[in-house]
């Protein structure tokens, strides 16, 4: 009897070993040397002065912003807004390759498909394997200003003579942000196997949907490794974008030499010299996941927090021409509400809201319009064509709309 | 009865080592009409697919299984598309038949006790039986991929192959990728084979073990589709089955290959141990 019992031992031991290994693997790996303590100002300066010349890594994005789940398989909706929503909802994995400031490749790894954005100098290719289409654009000479990749440069670059040090800038920024925002450095975290400072931005007001924004800043290079957006009343991060693996070595040069494959449909797109509309790096069709290496666009937004929310939710991503209309901002800091007056573009966006079944599901009818509500941003399309947006509770948008 | 002859030969061979036993197991497996019928059925999938695409008009992109629209441009894609189509049902079905038959088949035929006359033979028999099922896991995806590439090359032009990333590789490299896809599917099916081996030790009715194995693969895939069970998904043996698409990217994303191999190794360890526990304590009466 005992011998019989002994023979079942492996069957009991193996799952136990696997469970133990899984548990051990999920525990945070103990980092070697702890990072030297830094004040928020020093961490901001470290982030500002970083110049990652080249990197290759894998990014993972998860979001729980309360958008309807879009089926992974099946035909994708043709509308650009729905494609943007698809990128924002649900998990995504992307590989990023950067070599210097002018070469970059982003691959969004879909199930049995892939979307690519390749930039080499002023040549940009977008490729989607699902419908086998390639889009080509040539960036204007001054594109560096609008380019995400360009932002790797020192913030003071171009201002000859008086070039403020990153520490100065960080100090000034902190002073400007302080009344509305608390910025602190929490105990270090481990992202993609690297020790990182955990910089946390917390609004001081209760009148916003955003609970906190956490940015993990690599302790050695200053490269932002992850961005995590938390919404009020939600324990899971509303939006998280983080490196799962990262190497700071130069990727293979052949990765940036892209030519459209034979048989692909090639589209040429003209980029206006002073493109105020869609930024190449943010084209939703190309499927570029927002890069966590660009939290610069997140941090200074203590002044205008609505752009903390991924910009595709903002109406200007729905209709890029909308920027011609001057929006007005009411309220300050995290509680600001942006109003876009009635225009052709906003009407178009409103029409799309009510025609696209997917968006229809996402936007609920409220008195006086339709409300597009997520955990971190609310957008109100009024019946008379105006658009209100802000990281504020829906009631505030309704009040703002009623006040006019 | 040929099986009984085999068993006698195997008895003679046992004195030396397990290799002759393995050789006879493989020759029994691959001389069976049933095995050939299953491999032919698998090979028929790409052939039917290629002929259907050849005689019909152009497939618009984005319709049907992934890559289907690429077949007309490049015949080598038939192998990939056929692998894709076979992953959810046909491959698990055939592997379930082979793995479910391992022990229960011998028990059902009454040959199991002849195989077990020698002492300490049970562990070796279990290993040899699993190796036989694993050999089938190697052959089955290869048949699909190579039959696909062959019929594709016969019916469609063959040229540089476009990867998911939009990069283009030479036909030679593409064949290497195709073999990698077959290897990925082999690894993917090893866990299911271990489940089948364990189920096969539970019963003397081979059909029952086969059906249970196939049901296990279906249940695993259904659970993998339910968002409510998201916490469970990384532990399902079918979780990475479609990850072979990562081999068609440039550069190759090896992450899913590694995760898949680790997961399947876990299943082999757990169900191998269960099969061991069951088989060495079992009263073999037939």
Which mean pLDDT values do the consecutive 10-residue runs of chain B (286 residues) have? 53 60 91 96 95 79 70 86 93 96 90 74 90 97 96 90 89 93 97 97 94 96 91 94 92 92 96 93 77
Cβ neighbour number for residue A102 with a 10 Å cutoff: 18
Contact: B242, A134; criterion CB under 8 Å = no
Which of A282 and A364 is assigned the larger pLDDT? A364
Contact: B249, A58; criterion CB under 8 Å = no
- Assigned token pair, A111: 């199930």
Which chain B residues contact residue A112 at CB under 8 A? 66-67, 84, 164, 242, 245
Q: What is the pLDDT of residue A280?
A: 42
Q: What is the pLDDT of residue A333?
A: 78
B73 interface with A at CB cutoff 8 Å: yes
Q: How many residue pairs from chains A and B have C-beta atoms closer than 8 A? A: 88
A346 min Cα distance to partner chain B (Å): 31
Contact: A262, B162; criterion CB under 8 Å = yes
Looking at the predicted complex, does its ipTM rise above 0.95? no
> Which pLDDT band holds residue A81 (cuts at 50, 70, 90)?
low
A326 interface with B at CB cutoff 8 Å: no
B253 interface with A at CB cutoff 8 Å: yes
Which chain A residues contact residue B166 at CB under 8 A? 114, 116, 125, 127, 129, 134, 258, 260-261, 264
Q: Which of A111, A255, A264 comes nearest B242 by C-beta? A: A111
Pairing state between β A378-382 and A387-390: antiparallel
Mutate to test the interface with B, among A71, A110, A193, A263 (most CBs of B within 10 A): A263
pLDDT exceeding 70 applies to what percent of chain A? 69
Q: What is the four-CA torsion angle of A214, A216, A222, A224, rounded to 10 degrees? A: -80
> Which pLDDT band holds residue A396 (cuts at 50, 70, 90)?
confident
Q: What is the pLDDT of residue B97?
A: 96
Question: What pTM value is reported for the model?
Answer: 0.80
Output the DSSP codes for chain B.
-HHHHHHHHHHHHHTT-SHHHHHHHHHHHHH-HHHHHHHHHHHHHHHHHHHHHHHS-PPPTTSSSTTGGGTTT-TTHHHHHHHHHHTTTHHHHHHHHHHHHHHHHHHHHT-HHHHT-STTHHHHHHHHHHHHHHHHHHHHHHHHHHHHHHHHHHHS----EE-TTS-EE-HHHHHHHHHHHHHHHHHHHHHHHHHHHHHHHH-S-HHHHHHHHHHHHHHHHHHHH-GGGTTTGGGSTTTTGGGGGGGGSSS---HHHHHHHHHHHHHHHHHHHHHHHHHHH-----
Residue labelled with tokens 């080598």: B76
Measured distance CA(A129)–CA(A14) in Å, rounded: 42
B residues 169-228 closer than 8 Å to A (CB):
227
Q: What is the pLDDT of residue A401?
A: 84
Domains of chain B, by residue range, sit at 18-280
Measured distance CA(A204)–CA(A208) in Å, rounded: 9
Query: Contact A133/A114 with Cβ under 8 angstroms?
Result: no
A78 interface with B at CB cutoff 8 Å: no
Measured distance CA(A155)–CA(A331) in Å, rounded: 28
Q: What is the pLDDT of residue B220?
A: 96
B9 interface with A at CB cutoff 8 Å: no
Query: Contact A256/A105 with Cβ under 8 angstroms?
Result: yes
A288 min Cα distance to partner chain B (Å): 14
Which burial class, exposed, middle or buried, applies to A261 when counting CB atoms under 10 A from its CB (0-12, 13-18, 19+)?
buried
Contact: B61, A255; criterion CB under 8 Å = no
> Which pLDDT band holds residue A343 (cuts at 50, 70, 90)?
confident
Q: What is the pLDDT of residue B96?
A: 96
- Condensed to tens digits (0 to 9), the pLDDT of residues A199-224 reads 898 888 888 888 888 889 888 888 88
């Amino acid at each position: 009897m005992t011998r019989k019992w002994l023979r079942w031992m492996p069957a009991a031991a193996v799952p136990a070993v696997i469970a133990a290994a899984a548990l051990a693997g999920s525990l945070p790996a103990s980092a070697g040397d702890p990072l030297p303590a830094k004040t928020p100002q020093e961490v901001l300066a470290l982030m500002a002065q970083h110049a990652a010349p080249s990197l290759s890594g894998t990014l993972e994005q998860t979001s729980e912003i309360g958008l309807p789940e879009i089926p992974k398989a099946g035909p994708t909706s043709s509308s650009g807004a729905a494609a943007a929503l698809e990128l924002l909802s649900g998990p995504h994995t992307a590989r990023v390759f950067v070599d210097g400031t002018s070469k970059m490749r982003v691959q969004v790894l879909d199930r049995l498909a892939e979307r690519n954005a390749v930039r080499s100098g002023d040549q940009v290719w977008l490729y989607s394997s699902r419908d086998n289409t390639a889009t080509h654009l040539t960036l204007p000479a001054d594109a560096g200003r609008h380019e995400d990749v360009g932002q790797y440069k020192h913030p003071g670059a171009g201002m000859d003579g008086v070039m403020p040090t990153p520490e100065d800038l960080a100090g000034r920024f902190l002073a400007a942000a302080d009344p509305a925002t608390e910025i602190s450095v929490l105990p270090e975290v481990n992202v993609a196997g690297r020790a990182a400072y955990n910089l946390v931005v917390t609004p001081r007001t209760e009148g916003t949907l955003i609970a906190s924004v956490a940015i993990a800043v690599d302790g050695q290079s200053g490269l932002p490794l992850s961005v995590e957006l938390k919404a009020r009343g939600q324990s899971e991060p509303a939006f998280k974008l983080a490196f799962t693996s990262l190497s700071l070595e130069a990727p293979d040069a052949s990765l940036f030499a892209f030519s459209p494959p034979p048989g692909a449909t090639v589209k040429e797109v003209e980029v206006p010299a002073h493109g105020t509309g869609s930024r190449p790096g943010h084209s939703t069709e190309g499927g570029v996941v927002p890069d966590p290496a660009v939290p610069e666009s997140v941090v200074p937004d203590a002044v205008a927090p609505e752009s903390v929310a991924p910009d595709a939710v903002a109406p200007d991503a729905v209709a890029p021409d909308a920027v011609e209309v001057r929006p007005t901002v009411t309220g300050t800091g995290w509680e600001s509400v942006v109003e876009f007056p009635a225009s052709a573009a906003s009407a178009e966006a409103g029409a799309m809201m009510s025609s696209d079944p997917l968006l229809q599901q996402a936007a609920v009818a409220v008195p006086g319009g339709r409300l597009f509500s997520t955990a971190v941003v609310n957008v109100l399309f009024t019946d008379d064509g105006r658009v209100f947006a802000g990281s504020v509770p829906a009631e505030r948008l309704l009040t703002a709309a009623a006040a006019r | 009865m040929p099986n009984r002859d085999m068993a006698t030969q195997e008895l003679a061979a046992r004195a030396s080592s397990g290799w002759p036993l393995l050789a006879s197991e493989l020759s029994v497996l691959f001389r069976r009409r049933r095995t050939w019928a299953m491999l032919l059925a698998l090979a028929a999938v790409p052939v039917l697919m290629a002929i259907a695409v050849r005689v019909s008009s152009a497939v618009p992109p984005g319709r049907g299984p992934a890559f289907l629209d690429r077949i007309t441009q490049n015949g080598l894609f038939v192998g990939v598309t056929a692998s894709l189509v076979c992953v959810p049902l046909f491959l698990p079905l055939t592997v379930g038949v082979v793995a479910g038959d391992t022990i229960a088949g011998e028990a059902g035929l009454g040959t199991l006790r002849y195989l077990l006359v020698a002492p300490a033979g049970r562990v070796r028999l279990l290993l040899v039986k699993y190796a036989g099922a694993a050999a089938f896991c190697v052959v089955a995806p290869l048949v699909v991929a190579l039959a696909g590439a062959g019929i594709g090359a016969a019916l469609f032009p063959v040229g540089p192959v476009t990867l998911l990333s939009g990069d283009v590789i030479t036909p030679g490299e593409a064949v290497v990728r195709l073999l990698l896809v077959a290897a990925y599917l082999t690894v993917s099916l090893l866990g299911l084979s271990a489940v089948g081996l364990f189920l096969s030790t539970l019963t003397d009715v081979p059909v029952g073990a086969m059906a249970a194995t196939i049901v296990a693969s279906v249940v695993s895939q259904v659970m993998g589709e339910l968002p409510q069970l998201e916490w469970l998904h990384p532990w399902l043996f079918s979780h990475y089955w479609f990850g072979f698409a990562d081999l068609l990217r440039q550069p190759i994303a090896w992450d899913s290959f590694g995760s898949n191999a680790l997961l399947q190794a876990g299943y082999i360890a757990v169900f191998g141990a269960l099969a061991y526990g069951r088989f060495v304590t079992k009263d073999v009466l037939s």
